[in-house]
Structure 1
Amino acid sequence: MSPPEDYRVAVRALCDFTARSGDLDHRFTPSPSAREGIAGHALVAGRRGDAYEAELTLSGRVEGLTVTGRADGYNPTANRLEEVKTHRGRLDRMAENQRALHWAQVRVYGALLCAERGLGSVTLALVYLEVATGRETVLTETATVEELQAFFTTQCRRFLAWARQEAAHRVRRDAALRRLRFPHASFRTGQRELAEGVYKAAATGRCLLTQAPTGIGKTLGTLFPLLTAMPRQSLDRIAFLTMKTPGRRLALDALVSLGVNARTDDDGEGGARGVNDALPLRVLELVARDKACEYPDRACHGESCPLAAGFYDRLPAAREAAVTQGWLDGEGLREVALAHGVCPYYLGQELARWCDVIVGDVNHYFDANALLHGLAQANGWRFGLLVDEAHNLVARARGMYSTELDQQRLNRLRRFAPEALSRPLARASRQWQALVRESVCQEQGASNYRLLEALPAKLVAAMQQLASAITEHLGEHPEQAGAELQEVLFEALAFCRLAESFGDHSLCDLSCPARGRAVLGLRNLVPADFLTPRFTAAQTVVLFSATLSPADYHRDLLGLPAGSVWQEVDSPFVADQLEVRIRSDISTRMRDRDASIAPIVDELVRQYHQRPGHYLAFFSSFAYLDAVMTRLHEAAPAIPVRAQRRGMPEAERDAFLAGFASGGRSIGFAVLGGAFAEGIDLPGERLIGAFIATLGLPPFDDFNEALKARLEARFGRGDDYAYRVPGLIKVVQAAGRVIRGPEDRGVLVLMDDRFARDEVRSRLPAWWRLPAG
């Protein structure tokens, strides 16, 4: 960050910080796309004549703050400076805070223009262009150079006070980070090696893929070196990104151990910990909107929600209090927000601009419209990323860049949609019917699935037209923006957006899960095409997990940059800690499921009686799980059992885990790859063994066979990348629940004859002592 005597800011960023006022207003207001906005600006400029100066670069300086930007256009003959804004529908539905921002921008540009050209006054014009009709609404005012300069100076001084505060914070932060020490007397086995790899990646600006075993303290072992590198590598922000909520808590706990000023504890002592002084870091936890909302039954605007009313008027004080507090986990952020009467979620979105460490879900950087990526690009941040449990990123990213169209939702909408939408809805419905007729989706059944060789162009075109029609209608009639209409619109927009970038990284399929219902899907297969720009935009990225082998799988599918580094940290555990057995006489293939139930139950009962305690048994499906559990109850009703069920709410998941108390005995049944197969910590006697009755392979269906073919064509590793690697990652993750620390002892029983094959055994952790093949 530049020192305060040479601070720079764009006009838009300056006004966004200083000039917004009034309510937060997130009522649905259809807005033009970026492409429509560019076209709209060109249309206005083309109407203005040869004397018109478009895209006018301007700059000015006040007390050490340099402000730069490009005004949309100036007519020197009329002495009129224009700021062009595109919109859809009724202009009176535009939020007042947006209007305030627009006027501030054109006034700042007016001050810069007058100073540059020696003008005594200028006419300022806000030109609102309705993109559907091309109609202009022009609002004007005439201002003197003195009025504009006074306004400009006021805005600059407001921002400059903040800029100087930010620069002073950066100096304090970096000085403290240069003195940062590891908070414990020594590193755990493997933790120093991990930390050194992270620091080197930051120092060289590379991406690091590091496989580090459970139990060595990966969270602290990655945060500590990246924080140490922040001042030395001039990193502006770092983000710790997780797949699940518990990962965020671990990151926050690690930051407290490093001395970050956490909120006061119950004993009245502050949050500074260990060998470090209080670390002046601003830490923000990003929480999902549905969890952060205080009034989920209210609409998000000032007329409905009290925390939206006057949001921008109270934002400066809330922002100042938040950065002063510094520690902004979910609860800390909520306390600040409610103390100032503002929305916690949108206060968090604002504070992402001003915090040093952001802890949140991976979607905040890797999703198509990710907040952190957008901020990093807009502000030119040198950004450091830590991605926890990175073995899940392939699947998560595939979901981010996949979408569906549901014929049933469209049919429901036709029953009560406004008359103005009847024609585009009918057109889309006809294209749906034609597509279904051409497919195998005639009757309900498992065979009603079809991979399409290409996008159904006519249906895509009809959905584009429908999206445009709904957008234009709601622009004129926002009071009709019901949930069903918005859902269809957002579904159509998402599908059409991904259709524009459709390629060999994705496929299109059609399924009929029920009579009269078809679902058209765009399924991403290779996230690399979307993620590569995200990796290259960051200064350094560290992806870490206990299961990242083989490295090529993640390099290829995630699109890691050339020069990315692979690191494998040796396990601190020894073979004597884990007894591994392979039941090669059991087959868990679908055709052998019924025959496998009895020997699986015999193994569960034998092991439980040999060493009573807590066990987890993993299966490939709930149906398989239920069948084995039923037979176990018949064979050994005295053995306590509990089972995962579909869609367990958080409270039930917590209760399931609480049953694994030290000194108890039970067998817990769970699905491989589910909530209890990774990311849970049951050390010591809380878990002494696991049974895995599956290889974890995805089903051999049309979709996965198409995935295999696509990955074979692109990488030459179809079977490995589609089936074997994802399956064995799940197996090793589940097995990793047993040994969590150096004192743990346990047993692992792998139940399938394929575990005895060399190509499978070679992919299992090297520290396991496998029985002779």
Structure 2
Amino acid sequence: MSYRVAVRALCEFTAKAGDLDLRFTPSPTAQEGMAGHALVASRRGEDYRAELTLSGEYRHLSVRGRADGYDPTANRLEEVKTYRGDLTRMPANHRALHWAQAKLYGWLACQAFALAEIEVALVYFEIGSQRETVLVERHGAEALKAFFETQCERFLAWAEQEVAHRAERDAQLQRLGFPHGDFRVGQRQLAEGVYKAARLGCCLQAQAPTGIGKTLGTLFPLLKAFPSSALDKLFFLTAKTPGRQLALHALQRLRADAPLRVLELVARDKACVHPDKACHGESCPLARGFYDRLPAARAAAIQRGWLDRGAVSEVARAHEVCPYYLSQELARWCDAVVGDYNYYFDGSALLHGLTLANQWRVGVLVDEAHNLVERARGMYSTELDPFAFAEVRRDAPVALKKPLERIARQWRALDQAHGEAYQVLDEPPAAFLASLQNAVSAIGDHGVENPAALHGPLQTFYFDALQFCRLAESFGEHSLFDLSRTTGRRGPVSRLCLRNVVPAPFLAPRFASAHSTTLFSATFSPRAFYRDLLGLPAATPWLDVASPFAAEQLDVRIADRISTRFQHRAASVAPIVELIADQYARLPGNYLAFFSSFDYLQQVMARLVEAHPDLPLWNQARRMDEAQRDAFLQRFVEGGRGIGFAVLGGAFGEGIDLPGERLIGAFVATLGLPQLNPVNEQLSQRMERLFGEGYAYTYLYPGLQKVVQAAGRVIRTREDRGVVYLIDDRFGHAQVRRLMPSWWTIGRA
């Protein structure tokens, strides 16, 4: 069995040395990089071959890649690198890596064209000046072959280990049995759907009720499909920490019978050991010599196999390397990776980038996928703050005063031309974007010449402006450009926002890159709503798993004599207090009460304390940290009594598991509709224009999804019993009732 490796991946494994160095370097955008490569190719002769696919073998190692260009007239193989600023500031270990790539391609070209020798060139193309710096070496084919074989030999032992691991892994996965013996009701149906999608190589939308074991019901069949579908990796993506922990727990059970390497990816700020230090060898001891110590750390980690946050930290500590960047390296060598949505769906996502670079066949599982719409909107939105910009202008170096003043003039022109409190324009003005791009280039150049000067607000503004420019390049009907008026010291100013409203154009290529993607949730309907907004293929199969729960397990009651609309809030407090107190008196136990805002929550809670001072109450607070959230949940114990107050759509509205008597009921005192404000009204208009469903896509569907999720906290197993009160007259409307789970039997309170 041969092992496939890309030229770049091979060189990064064998030729990277020295420090981890993440000091500011103004790199070109992806579009600028592609344009730079195209411009270099256009300057060559007619016979020049750009993007030349080359491959070679060494023993059972198959090396493949795409060289940037070959000029048969000059007999020159070129490796093109785009950059900004001063080339002399490029770290030496970067240059060494580039030469290694160029020389590997040089040998592959010699082999392909039967050449006795060849010129190997590094072409450094500076984006700003569009000048090339060409470094040339002439090598004989035999010398390049020896270099190629040396690199392959360094990698071969690792490749042999990987081939053996994969063979053993796939053999064990073929024999893998379901860890609980029998599937739960509905779990088998879900598992069969995931397995079929993996075999067919397609996406799947799966709506499966809470409590059937969706995590294990998706992981198990996808792992079973690895051998027959020739999958390389499994990515389990979550919106929140609890989902990540459930996935790790399930994988721990599964790897008891199969040699799986499992990695947990965590955010940089949670993994960093030295948050007070910069990521380079002159500042952080874990960055100094990082690549020299990486091979031993990598080998030790792979030997362990189980690489959750704690395990990665232990290996990193033992080998004195950065745990965050060690985990990014380990993503290349693990079978299953568990992490946040952003690791695959964000614009610069690690796992998506590795998938493309290594041509992996990946199976992607998207947990609680109803969250992906809002999360993806955030990934592809950005804004510019006028007050932050004013601070940058005030303290900017002299060299940057003029380009920043050009932005200020264009910004003032926008303010003067558009005086409304909130306004949407057809597109970002070209003159403003030009001034912003000019400033980005100027700040980047200044940062290259004065690295120490680029920090704090100036650096933050640089990255914000760069993101603004990048998103403006792909502006279309999927986004809004809006101005929100606010008052500064010198009068009205506007916050400028590129606001994504339909993530589909950005997410569709991510689904196409995966062999199979299953998106699943207990609240994933209407089907078309999520398909339209997420960009799923039109032919994506839909699976609606029947609920394992009986209607008599959950007593759903609508309190339709109460209105929770904003104008009726004050009048609603007393009847809500009476309803909660009456239910608790009839059946004491643990309850959750959900409200549309912290203010509303506090009003009802204060009146309940006043009327029933002996009733145990606790509440969600603004900006609770992880420890505080855990303390809130720990109040829900078997046999306990009391009411926890929470905000609908917050940390306690989904993703928490309180089976049995830990939770026997819930009160939902809101329809969950997003606020009626100018932004949402613009969103509604755009949804109406694109899909003919303005109100439903903007307000009704997102609101009811939160309500059903909150109600889903009550019944977690087939033995649970509970009650849910839906408090608002609109819950009785036919359009709303149709969006509730079909197994519910609904009565009046």
Fold match by TM threshold 0.5 = yes
Equivalent of residue 548 in structure 1, options 511, 524, 529:
524
Equivalent of residue 474 in structure 1, options 447, 459, 468:
447
Structure 1 position 454, deviation (Å): 3.0
Hey, what does 1:485 align to over in structure 2?
Answer: 458
Equivalent of residue 26 in structure 1, options 22, 25, 34:
22
Residue 750 of structure 1 aligns with an amino acid whose one-letter code is: L
> Is 1:387 the equivalent of 2:366?
yes
What is the root-mean-square deviation of aligned Cα atoms in Å?
2.2
Hey, what does 2:479 align to over in structure 1?
Answer: 506
Equivalent of residue 375 in structure 1, options 347, 351, 354:
354
Equivalent of residue 713 in structure 1, options 689, 692, 699:
689
Where does the alignment leave 5 or more consecutive residues of structure 2 unmatched? none
Q: Secondary structure at the match of 1:668?
A: strand
Distance change in 2, residues 1:239/1:38 (3 Å):
closer
Residue 98 of structure 2 aligns with an amino acid whose one-letter code is: H
Q: Distance in 2 between matches of 1:70 and 1:567?
A: 40
Structure 1 position 548, deviation (Å): 1.0
Q: Distance in 2 between matches of 1:515 and 1:204?
A: 57
Residue 245 of structure 1 aligns with an amino acid whose one-letter code is: T
Q: Distance in 1 between matches of 2:114 and 2:327?
A: 42
Structure 1 position 424, deviation (Å): 0.9
Residue 177 of structure 2 aligns with an amino acid whose one-letter code is: R
Structure 1 position 70, deviation (Å): 4.9
Superposed, 1:56-95 pairs within 5 Å as 58-72=54-68, 81-95=77-91
Structure 1 position 336, deviation (Å): 1.8
Structure 1 position 319, deviation (Å): 1.8
> Is 1:344 the equivalent of 2:320?
no
Superposed, 1:695-710 pairs within 5 Å as 695-710=671-686
Q: Distance in 2 between matches of 1:586 and 1:139?
A: 77
Q: Secondary structure at the match of 2:441?
A: helix
CA offsets per residue over residues 141-184 of structure 1, 9 Å max, x none? 55555543322211011223222222221111110000000111
Structure 1 position 54, deviation (Å): 6.1
Alignment check: 8 A CA contact 1:23 1:96 kept: no
Equivalent of residue 399 in structure 1, options 367, 378, 381:
378
Superposed, 1:94-493 pairs within 5 Å as 94-114=90-110, 124-141=120-137, 143-258=139-254, 260=255, 272=256, 277=257, 279-440=258-419, 448-493=421-466
Structure 1 position 139, deviation (Å): 4.1
Distance change in 2, residues 1:139/1:681 (3 Å):
same
Between stretches 103-112 and 717-726, larger displacement belongs to 103-112
Aligned sequence identity (%): 63
Residue 286 of structure 2 aligns with an amino acid whose one-letter code is: L
Distance change in 2, residues 1:576/1:48 (3 Å):
closer
Distance change in 2, residues 1:55/1:525 (3 Å):
closer
Between stretches 482-491 and 374-383, larger displacement belongs to 374-383
Q: Secondary structure at the match of 1:197?
A: helix
Equivalent of residue 467 in structure 2, options 494, 512, 516:
494
Alignment check: 8 A CA contact 2:683 2:698 kept: yes
Hey, what does 1:649 align to over in structure 2?
Answer: 625
Distance change in 2, residues 1:561/1:463 (3 Å):
same
Q: Distance in 1 between matches of 2:114 and 2:359?
A: 33
Structure 1 position 385, deviation (Å): 1.0
CA offsets per residue over residues 288-341 of structure 1, 9 Å max, x none? 111111111111111111111111112222222222221111111222222222
Alignment check: 8 A CA contact 2:29 2:470 kept: no
Q: Distance in 2 between matches of 1:53 and 1:525?
A: 41
Alignment check: 8 A CA contact 1:451 1:703 kept: no
Distance change in 2, residues 1:185/1:456 (3 Å):
same
CA offsets per residue over residues 255-282 of structure 1, 9 Å max, x none? 1222x1xxxxxxxxxxx3xxxx3x1111
Residue 336 of structure 1 aligns with an amino acid whose one-letter code is: V
Residue 674 of structure 2 aligns with an amino acid whose one-letter code is: P
Q: Secondary structure at the match of 2:22?
A: coil
Hey, what does 1:594 align to over in structure 2?
Answer: 570
Q: Distance in 1 between matches of 2:112 and 2:227?
A: 38
Q: Distance in 1 between matches of 2:243 and 2:28?
A: 37
Residue 604 of structure 1 aligns with an amino acid whose one-letter code is: I
Residue 552 of structure 1 aligns with an amino acid whose one-letter code is: A
Q: Distance in 2 between matches of 1:55 and 1:212?
A: 45
Q: Secondary structure at the match of 1:454?
A: coil
CA offsets per residue over residues 564-611 of structure 1, 9 Å max, x none? 111111212222222222111100111111111111111122112222
Q: Distance in 1 between matches of 2:604 and 2:199?
A: 52
Q: Distance in 2 between matches of 1:747 and 1:34?
A: 53
Between stretches 423-432 and 73-82, larger displacement belongs to 73-82
Distance change in 2, residues 1:134/1:649 (3 Å):
same
Structure 1 position 10, deviation (Å): 3.5
Q: Secondary structure at the match of 1:691?
A: strand
Q: Distance in 2 between matches of 1:716 and 1:71?
A: 47
> Is 1:9 the equivalent of 2:5?
yes
> Is 1:723 the equivalent of 2:699?
yes
Distance change in 2, residues 1:470/1:742 (3 Å):
same
Equivalent of residue 662 in structure 1, options 638, 647, 670:
638
Alignment check: 8 A CA contact 1:8 1:65 kept: yes
Equivalent of residue 588 in structure 2, options 608, 612, 617:
612
Structure 1 position 67, deviation (Å): 3.5
Q: Distance in 2 between matches of 1:757 and 1:501?
A: 41
Q: Distance in 1 between matches of 2:726 and 2:90?
A: 61
Between stretches 506-515 and 715-724, larger displacement belongs to 506-515
Q: Secondary structure at the match of 1:92?
A: helix
Distance change in 2, residues 1:771/1:459 (3 Å):
same
Q: Secondary structure at the match of 1:30?
A: coil
Structure 1 position 112, deviation (Å): 3.9
> Is 1:688 the equivalent of 2:664?
yes
Q: Distance in 1 between matches of 2:150 and 2:179?
A: 45
Hey, what does 1:756 align to over in structure 2?
Answer: 732
Alignment check: 8 A CA contact 1:580 1:770 kept: yes
Q: Distance in 1 between matches of 2:463 and 2:46?
A: 41
TM-score (norm 1): 0.92
Structure 1 position 27, deviation (Å): 0.7
Q: Distance in 1 between matches of 2:520 and 2:581?
A: 37
> Is 1:515 the equivalent of 2:521?
no
Alignment check: 8 A CA contact 1:29 1:93 kept: no
CA offsets per residue over residues 435-469 of structure 1, 9 Å max, x none? 1222235xxxxxx2222233233222221111111
CA offsets per residue over residues 511-531 of structure 1, 9 Å max, x none? 134435531111111111221
Between stretches 117-126 and 397-406, larger displacement belongs to 117-126
Between stretches 548-557 and 689-698, larger displacement belongs to 548-557
Q: Secondary structure at the match of 1:458?
A: helix
TM-score (norm 2): 0.95
Q: Secondary structure at the match of 1:253?
A: helix
Q: Distance in 2 between matches of 1:119 and 1:529?
A: 45
Residue 211 of structure 1 aligns with an amino acid whose one-letter code is: Q
Structure 1 position 77, deviation (Å): 7.7
Q: Distance in 2 between matches of 1:399 and 1:43?
A: 34
Where does the alignment leave 5 or more consecutive residues of structure 1 unmatched? 261-271, 442-447
Residue 638 of structure 2 aligns with an amino acid whose one-letter code is: S
Distance change in 2, residues 1:69/1:559 (3 Å):
closer
Q: Distance in 1 between matches of 2:511 and 2:44?
A: 42
Alignment check: 8 A CA contact 2:128 2:441 kept: no
Structure 1 position 65, deviation (Å): 3.2
